């Protein structure tokens, strides 16, 4: 890595923001794991578990029009800082409910809704800022470095959460989450205070009018996709991918907890995080600059295989192998696809385009979450119970009983995803997307290394299929 690139990636503001993101990510991993187990164990329902996750999606979707406009027309630093401050307030509220033993599943729906809005507004500004700081030929490497470093720190989070939940309960988890959230917010404040360069997409001094800005944001997205229709193909492929992987990933907790404890789930997710780290650092070390779309599709075929295998096996050791492989190849696919979006979308439209793609992902997630959990409880599970319609056929292969309907879902999702990825590999134009769609103009970061070193930068790709996707 050249000294210029090193300075861009390791400036004071970046280091502080990187540390803050790490603190937030570890806290989110701990609390997300604990709350997922808590909801499932309290309700015993796959459907209610899914509704708790879904509660964040609909409000987030409604806030997307504002998110794109804010990312392109406001100082992205303060958009990020404001969202982080609100996130800390939400953690404080949940902590008070836990400490007073007043937490109910219904409370998590409200918390999820507010958290979804915060994330929806924050993410477009977040990714657009990264795209302008990191040089084009280092975007893939930067995504790998950041996600790999955060993954190293997160490896122990599921394992620790599993044991903390068993020994200390939700109180222990919330104490740690509160501490990490406050530390992260302070680091963000320090990072943004030290940054002198305001990151904006649209450079003008006229006052921003809300509805006029939203209209311009939508118009810029429509114009971009009209000009580069091949990017619609990328977006559609990712939507299909998200539909299948969100369905499988949200069912991972009930798949394991139907026959094992939270400690087993923690170990499986920890091994998955190790795989994600290896995948991310492999991407950072190789830094592929061409053929990124092919890498996305090849990695996704491998990821689909491990998702399918997770439904077939029933031993914790084999689940660990599946999680490791899925996270490793998911990290490669995630990093390459993020780099493609950051390279191809012009600076003044990045926030709007990223918000639009995120909105489409949320729509798909809502549909999948509304139908998937119902299908599991009302259709797949009865089919795989003793005496069910598939008990004597598919049941001979996957087994019968509680949780085997979820396993069947994994097999079907993995198989469909593998077919979609292989069909996409046969599409000659889609696999040459890197060459056929021009890169955006060089960001400011490529032209002035000294100034770039004072700009806050970060990325937080969540590796599929553990969390909701971080794709723009």
The answer to whether 228 touches 110, Cβ cutoff 8 Å, is no
Largest CA distance in the chain: 70
pLDDT 10s digits, 272-320: 878 888 888 888 788 887 788 999 999 999 999 999 999 898 888 999 9
Q: What is the structure's pLDDT at 90?
A: 84
Query: Which segment of 36-40, 308-312, 338-342, 366-370 scores lowest on mean pLDDT?
Result: 36-40
Taking the C-alpha atoms of residue 55 and residue 419, their distance in angstroms, rounded to an integer, is 31
Question: Cβ contacts of residue 226 below 8 Å, gap of 6+?
Answer: none
Q: What is the structure's pLDDT at 305?
A: 94
Question: Cβ contacts of residue 166 below 8 Å, gap of 6+?
Answer: 261, 262, 263
* Of residues 345 and 450, more confidently modeled: 345
pLDDT 10s digits, 109-131: 787 788 888 888 887 877 777 66
Query: Which segment of 120-134, 146-160, 254-268, 454-468 scores lowest on mean pLDDT?
Result: 454-468
* 133: its two tokens: 């700081």
Q: What is the structure's pLDDT at 318?
A: 92
Taking the C-alpha atoms of residue 435 and residue 292, their distance in angstroms, rounded to an integer, is 10
Taking the C-alpha atoms of residue 372 and residue 368, their distance in angstroms, rounded to an integer, is 5
User: Stretch 199-222: mean pLDDT, rounded?
Assistant: 67
Query: Any idea where the domains of the chain sit in the sequence?
Result: 3-201+211-452
Taking the C-alpha atoms of residue 245 and residue 247, their distance in angstroms, rounded to an integer, is 5
Q: What is the structure's pLDDT at 206?
A: 59
The answer to whether 280 touches 335, Cβ cutoff 8 Å, is yes
The answer to whether 202 touches 35, Cβ cutoff 8 Å, is no
Taking the C-alpha atoms of residue 459 and residue 150, their distance in angstroms, rounded to an integer, is 10
pTM (two decimals): 0.69
User: Stretch 142-147: mean pLDDT, rounded?
Assistant: 70
Secondary structure of residue 101 in the 3-state scheme: coil
Taking the C-alpha atoms of residue 203 and residue 265, their distance in angstroms, rounded to an integer, is 48
Query: Which segment of 20-29, 233-242, 250-259 scores lowest on mean pLDDT?
Result: 20-29
CA-nearest of 228, 275, 214, 241 to 66 is 214
Taking the C-alpha atoms of residue 413 and residue 241, their distance in angstroms, rounded to an integer, is 10
DSSP letter at 453 equals: T
DSSP letter at 380 equals: I
CATH architecture for segment(s) 3-201+211-452: Up-down Bundle (1.20)
User: Stretch 384-410: mean pLDDT, rounded?
Assistant: 85
Model confidence band, residue 201 (pLDDT cutoffs 50, 70, 90): low
Of 235-249, 340-354, 363-377, 431-445, which has the strongest mean pLDDT? 340-354
Secondary structure of residue 196 in the 3-state scheme: coil
Mean pLDDT for the chain overall:
75
- Specify the DSSP element, H or E, that contains 361: helix 350-375
The answer to whether 29 touches 157, Cβ cutoff 8 Å, is yes
Whole-angstrom CA distances from 403 to 233, 311, 408 are 35, 10, 9
Buried b (16+ CB within 10 A) or exposed e, 55-71: bbbbbbbebbbbbbbbb
Q: Which residue has the tokens 């089919």?
A: 383
Question: Cβ contacts of residue 435 below 8 Å, gap of 6+?
Answer: none
The answer to whether 345 touches 131, Cβ cutoff 8 Å, is yes
Q: Give the CB-side neighbour count of residue 78, counting CA atoms within 13 A.
A: 8
DSSP letter at 242 equals: H
Question: Cβ contacts of residue 309 below 8 Å, gap of 6+?
Answer: 318, 322, 414
* Of residues 443 and 178, more confidently modeled: 178
Q: What is the structure's pLDDT at 451?
A: 36
């Amino acid at each position: 890595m050249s000294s210029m690139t090193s300075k861009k990636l390791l400036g004071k503001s970046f280091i502080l923001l990187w540390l803050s993101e790490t603190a937030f990510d570890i806290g989110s991993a701990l609390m997300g794991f604990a709350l997922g187990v808590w909801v499932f164990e309290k309700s015993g329902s796959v459907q209610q578990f899914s509704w708790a996750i879904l509660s964040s999606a609909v409000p987030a979707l409604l806030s997307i029009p504002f998110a794109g406009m804010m990312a392109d027309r406001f100082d992205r630093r303060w958009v990020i800082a404001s969202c982080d401050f609100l996130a800390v307030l939400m953690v404080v509220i949940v902590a008070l409910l836990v400490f007073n033993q007043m937490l109910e599943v219904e409370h998590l729906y409200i918390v999820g809704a507010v958290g979804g809005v915060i994330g929806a507004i924050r993410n477009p500004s977040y990714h657009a800022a990264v795209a302008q700081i990191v040089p084009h030929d280092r975007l893939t490497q930067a995504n790998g470095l950041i996600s790999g470093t955060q993954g190293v720190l997160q490896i122990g989070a599921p394992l620790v959460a599993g044991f903390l939940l068993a020994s200390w309960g939700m109180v222990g988890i919330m104490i740690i989450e509160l501490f990490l959230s406050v530390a992260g917010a302070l680091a963000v404040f320090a990072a943004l205070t030290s940054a002198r360069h305001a990151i904006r997409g649209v450079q003008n001094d006229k006052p921003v009018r809300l509805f006029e800005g939203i209209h311009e944001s939508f118009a810029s997205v429509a114009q971009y996709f009209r000009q580069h229709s091949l990017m619609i193909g990328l977006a559609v492929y990712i939507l299909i991918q998200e539909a299948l992987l969100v369905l499988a990933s949200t069912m991972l907790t009930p798949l394991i907890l139907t026959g094992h404890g939270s400690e087993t789930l923690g170990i499986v997710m920890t091994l998955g995080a190790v795989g994600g780290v290896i995948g991310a650092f492999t991407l950072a070390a190789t830094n592929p600059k061409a053929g990124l779309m092919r890498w996305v599709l090849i990695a996704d075929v491998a990821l689909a295989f491990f998702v399918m295998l997770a439904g077939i096996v029933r031993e914790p050791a084999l689940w660990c192998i599946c999680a490791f492989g899925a996270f490793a190849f998911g990290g490669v696919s995630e990093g390459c696809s993020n780099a493609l979006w950051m390279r191809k979308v012009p600076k003044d439209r990045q926030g709007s385009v990223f918000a639009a793609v995120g909105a489409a992902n949320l729509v798909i997630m809502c549909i999948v979450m509304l139908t998937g959990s119902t299908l599991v409880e009302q259709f797949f599970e009865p089919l795989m119970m003793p005496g069910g319609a598939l008990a004597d056929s598919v049941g001979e292969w996957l087994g019968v009983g509680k949780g085997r309907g979820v396993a069947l879902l994994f097999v079907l999702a993995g198989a469909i995803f593998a077919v979609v990825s292989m069909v996409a590999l046969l599409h000659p134009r889609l696999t040459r997307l890197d060459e056929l769609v021009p890169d955006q103009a060089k960001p400011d970061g490529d032209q002035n290394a000294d100034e770039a070193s004072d700009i806050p930068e970060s990325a937080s790709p969540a590796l599929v299929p553990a969390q909701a996707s971080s794709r723009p």
